[in-house]
Amino acid sequence: MGIMKTTRRVFLIGGAVVGGGMALGYGFLRDKPGTAGFENYGEKGTALNAWVKITPDEQVVLAVPRSEMGQGVYTSMAQLIAEELEVALDEIKVEHPDINAKYTNYYLGSGGAQGDGGAVKWILERGAALAPYVGTGGSSTVKDGYRTMRVVGASAREMLMAAAAEKWGVDRSALKAENGTIINTKTDEHLTYGALAVAASEQKPIASPPLKDPKDFKVVGTSAARVDVPEKVDGTAQFGIDVQLPDMLYATVKHVPYCGGKLVSFDSDAIKDMPGVEKVVEVPGGVAVVATSYWRAKKAVDALPVSYDDCGNGGLNSQAVMADFRSALENEEGFNRQLEEGFDAAIAGASKTVEASYEVPYLAHACMEPMNCTMQIKDGRAEVWIGHQAPVLVHWAVAEVTGIKSENIDVHVMYLGGGFGRRAERDVVVQTAHVAKAVEGRPVKFVWSREQDMQNGQYRPQTAAKMKAGLAEDGKPAAFQAKVALQSVATSFSRRNNMPSFLQAQPETDDMMVEGLAHQPYDLGAVRIDQIARELPVEVGNWRSVGHSQNAFFKESFIDEMAIAAGQDPFAYRREMLTDAPRFRAVLEKAAEMSNWGTPLGPNQGRGIALQESFGSIVAEVAHVTVGEDGSLSIDEVFCAMDCGVTVNPDTVKAQIDSGIVYGLSAVLFGEISIENGQVYQQNFPDYEMVRLSTMPKVTSFIMPSAEKPGGVGEPSTPPIAPAVTNAIYDASGKRVRRLPLVKENLRVA
* Digit-coded pLDDT (tens) for 32-64: 444 545 666 677 889 998 899 999 889 999 999
Rg for the chain (alpha carbons), in Å? 27
Q: What is the pLDDT of residues 270-297, one digit of tens each?
A: 999 999 999 999 999 999 999 999 999 9
Q: Which pLDDT score is estimated for 580?
A: 97
C-alpha span between 701 and 658 (Å, rounded):
8
Q: What are the boundaries of each domain within the chain? A: 8-212, 242-311+371-447, 332-363+459-749
The residues, ordered by sequence, that sit 6+ positions from 344 with a Cβ below 8 Å of its Cβ are none
Strand pairing category for 335-339 and 352-360: unpaired
Collapse the DSSP code of 741 into the 3-class scheme (helix H, G, I; strand E, B; otherwise coil) and give the result: coil
From the list 434, 462, 431, 433, the residue with the least C-alpha distance to 448 is: 431
Contact by Cβ (8 Å): 511, 3:
yes
pLDDT band for position 25 (cuts 50, 70, 90)? very low
pLDDT band for position 482 (cuts 50, 70, 90)? very high
The residues, ordered by sequence, that sit 6+ positions from 318 with a Cβ below 8 Å of its Cβ are 361, 362, 462, 674, 675, 676
- CATH number corresponding to 8-212: 3.30.365.10
From the list 627, 610, 646, the residue with the least C-alpha distance to 718 is: 610
From the list 423, 540, 547, 427, the residue with the least C-alpha distance to 493 is: 540
Q: Which pLDDT score is estimated for 130?
A: 52
Output the CA angle 657-663-669, nearest 5 degrees.
125
- Beta bridge pairs of residue 611: 620
From the list 639, 466, 626, the residue with the least C-alpha distance to 558 is: 466
**Percent of the chain residues past pLDDT 70, beyond the cut:** 90
Q: How many CA atoms lie within 13 A of 679 on its CB side?
A: 14
**Percent of the chain residues past pLDDT 90, beyond the cut:** 82
Distances (CA, A) of 592 to 523, 587, 595, 619, 723: 20, 9, 5, 12, 15
Taking 60 as the threshold, does the pLDDT of residue 487 lie above it? yes
Q: What is the pLDDT of residues 184-209, one digit of tens each?
A: 999 999 999 999 999 999 998 877 89
Q: Per-residue pLDDT averaged across 594-622, rounded? A: 97
C-alpha span between 250 and 241 (Å, rounded):
11
Burial group, residue 502, by CB count within 10 angstroms (0-12, 13-18, 19+): exposed
pLDDT band for position 13 (cuts 50, 70, 90)? very low
Return the number of other C-beta atoms located less than 10 Å from residue 314's C-beta: 16
Q: What DSSP line would sit under 409-474, residue for residue?
A: EEEEE-B-S--TTGGG--HHHHHHHHHHHHTTTS-EEEE--HHHHHHSS-BBPPEEEEEEEEE-TT
Q: Which pLDDT score is estimated for 212?
A: 96
**Looking at 51-60, 366-375, 591-600, which range is the least confident one?**
51-60
Q: What is the pLDDT of residues 425-449, one digit of tens each?
A: 999 999 999 999 999 999 999 999 9
Architecture per CATH, domain 332-363+459-749, reads as 2-Layer Sandwich (3.30)
C-alpha span between 263 and 252 (Å, rounded):
16
Collapse the DSSP code of 229 into the 3-class scheme (helix H, G, I; strand E, B; otherwise coil) and give the result: helix
Q: Which pLDDT score is estimated for 631?
A: 87
C-alpha span between 17 and 14 (Å, rounded):
5
Q: Which pLDDT score is estimated for 114?
A: 41
Q: What is the pLDDT of residues 558-587, one digit of tens each?
A: 999 999 999 999 999 999 999 999 999 999
Buried b (16+ CB within 10 A) or exposed e, 184-221: beeeeeebebbbbbebbbebebbeebeebeeeebebbe
Q: Per-residue pLDDT averaged across 7-35, rounded? A: 35
C-alpha span between 452 and 387 (Å, rounded):
18
Torsion sign over Cα 17, 20, 23, 24: positive
From the list 15, 40, 10, 14, the residue with the least C-alpha distance to 396 is: 15
Q: Which pLDDT score is estimated for 2?
A: 32
Q: Which pLDDT score is estimated for 225?
A: 95
Q: What is the pLDDT of residues 99-156, one digit of tens each?
A: 877 888 877 766 654 444 444 444 444 444 456 678 898 998 999 899 999 999 999 9
Architecture per CATH, domain 242-311+371-447, reads as 2-Layer Sandwich (3.30)
| Higher-pLDDT residue of 494, 462 | 462
Q: Which pLDDT score is estimated for 135?
A: 87
Q: Which pLDDT score is estimated for 749?
A: 64
Taking 60 as the threshold, does the pLDDT of residue 750 lie above it? no
Cα dihedral 560→564→570→575 (10° resolution):
-100
Q: Within its chain, how far is the Cα of 386 from the centroid? A: 17
H/E stretch holding 280: strand 277-283
Torsion sign over Cα 18, 513, 519, 332: negative
Q: Within its chain, how far is the Cα of 116 from the centroid? A: 23
Same fold, 242-311+371-447 and 332-363+459-749: yes
Q: What is the pLDDT of residues 665-676, one digit of tens each?
A: 999 999 999 999
C-alpha span between 288 and 295 (Å, rounded):
13
Distances (CA, A) of 636 to 292, 440, 739: 49, 56, 21
Q: Which pLDDT score is estimated for 109?
A: 66
